[in-house]
Structure 1
């Protein structure tokens, strides 16, 4: 049999460096899966480390506690999207109706259809038992999300596309379909009849159409809805 030379020390060191650098991402991926599967309370750091293929000691090199690990998951899989969405808000050239439609489709693509949506259900389900986690999520996710929706609705009012709204409450009309869809994804038997072939995108389109009936400003001379949405820059 031919003799196979052992890998060089430089090659071996390179593999170790790559593996070490990959570990935080692998740990976050494993943690996201376990948090969604088991919930926050039932997830153990030992389980996360085992699923990522490292020791518990290695996990603690990167994340000193389960709370720190959870926060890192939320920052990576949810909070990171806000910078992108806020930039897209500033650059959007279409109507606010189109913007709201894009908000729903973008949320579904990047959060709702992914494992990250399970974090939303986790927080809603376990908030009462973990005030520190709840406060973090409120400050880092809920408040920025509501502020972005307020800006969208304010944009529609400023250009005359939407009627005057109480934004403190109108934001929840936009959020309600997202919350319901999150629970449908992770608890379908409790939310939907078994016979229904459920399409998330069709559901979001239907909810938006209903929502817009209440948002749109009516022309003073007519009770009909405007045929063409106004454009705001």
Structure 2
């Protein structure tokens, strides 16, 4: 006896609600594997187990799908991070270490790290995507880190600096790590040369303490 529509409806509804997330996951994997230009929407649909027509019910274009990948995997993290740092009780140095760890845990050490390499490599050919990434990721990311630096300056923990420029000294090594992960780091001969967490903390310590030897009195 065939199941009634009432019996199958909840299951179908759950499946329908899951489809956007499944499509975004499939798109992330394929974009990172093949690049934005080389990825076809029918490939994304097939990997998610739906038809191309179903994909277009949720996303108007491949560009719209890629924006959803950026939003779901990176941009949506910032509101919670901003709230968390408002009540951070440690020093500004500890706050900076913690912020770098958060980024690596939630982005750098996940498939989403491939988005960074992808945007950098294809920004010139797809300026709309680059502009979206700038607005949704770069601006809130630099804003958060700049607020940590400014906190340190105002508390007398850091020396006076132009935080709008100094912030890129913090961002640069994170970009390097993600680029390395999806290039040389993917090769067996180079995979274990850099320990990401060790590299992050070493870099933060260099920024905080400088490289000059302390003179003894």
TM-score band (shorter)? over 0.9
Q: Distance in 2 between matches of 1:134 and 1:65?
A: 16
2:70 to 42, 67, 74: 74
| Comparing 141-150 and 186-195, the one that deviates more | 186-195
Aligned equivalent of 1:170: 166
Number of aligned residues = 214
Aligned equivalent of 1:141: 137
Q: Which secondary structure does the structure 2 equivalent of 1:198 belong to?
A: coil
Q: Distance in 1 between matches of 2:29 and 2:191?
A: 28
Aligned equivalent of 1:153: 149
Q: How far does residue 70 in structure 1 lie from its aligned partner after superposition?
A: 0.5
The change in CA–CA distance for 1:204 and 1:193 in structure 2 (over 3 A counts) is farther
Give TM-score, length-normalised by structure 1: 0.86
| Comparing 196-205 and 107-116, the one that deviates more | 196-205
Aligned equivalent of 1:186: 182
Conserved? CA contact 1:183–1:191, under 8 Å: no
1:96-149: CA deviations, max 9, x gaps? 000001011100110000000100110011111111111111111111111111
Conserved? CA contact 1:184–1:192, under 8 Å: no
Conserved? CA contact 1:34–1:48, under 8 Å: yes
Q: Which secondary structure does the structure 2 equivalent of 1:153 belong to?
A: helix
Q: How far does residue 169 in structure 1 lie from its aligned partner after superposition?
A: 1.6
Q: Distance in 2 between matches of 1:100 and 1:17?
A: 44
2:127 to 131, 136, 141: 131
Q: Which has the larger radius of gyration?
A: 1
1:49-95: CA deviations, max 9, x gaps? 01001011100000010011011111100001100110111010110
The change in CA–CA distance for 1:95 and 1:191 in structure 2 (over 3 A counts) is farther
Aligned equivalent of 2:98: 102
1:25 to 21, 24, 38: 21
Q: Which secondary structure does the structure 1 equivalent of 2:124 belong to?
A: helix
Q: Distance in 2 between matches of 1:190 and 1:20?
A: 35
1:12-53: CA deviations, max 9, x gaps? 122211111111110011011011111111111111001001
Q: Distance in 2 between matches of 1:195 and 1:110?
A: 20
Give TM-score, length-normalised by structure 2: 0.92
Could you say what the CA RMSD is over the residues aligned between the two structures, in angstroms?
2.1
- Structure 2: where are the runs of 5+ without partners? none
Q: Distance in 2 between matches of 1:72 and 1:24?
A: 9
1:112 to 108, 111, 126: 108
The change in CA–CA distance for 1:89 and 1:63 in structure 2 (over 3 A counts) is same
Higher RCO structure (Cα 8 Å, ≥6 apart)? 1
- Structure 1: where are the runs of 5+ without partners? 216-221, 225-233
Q: Which secondary structure does the structure 2 equivalent of 1:165 belong to?
A: coil
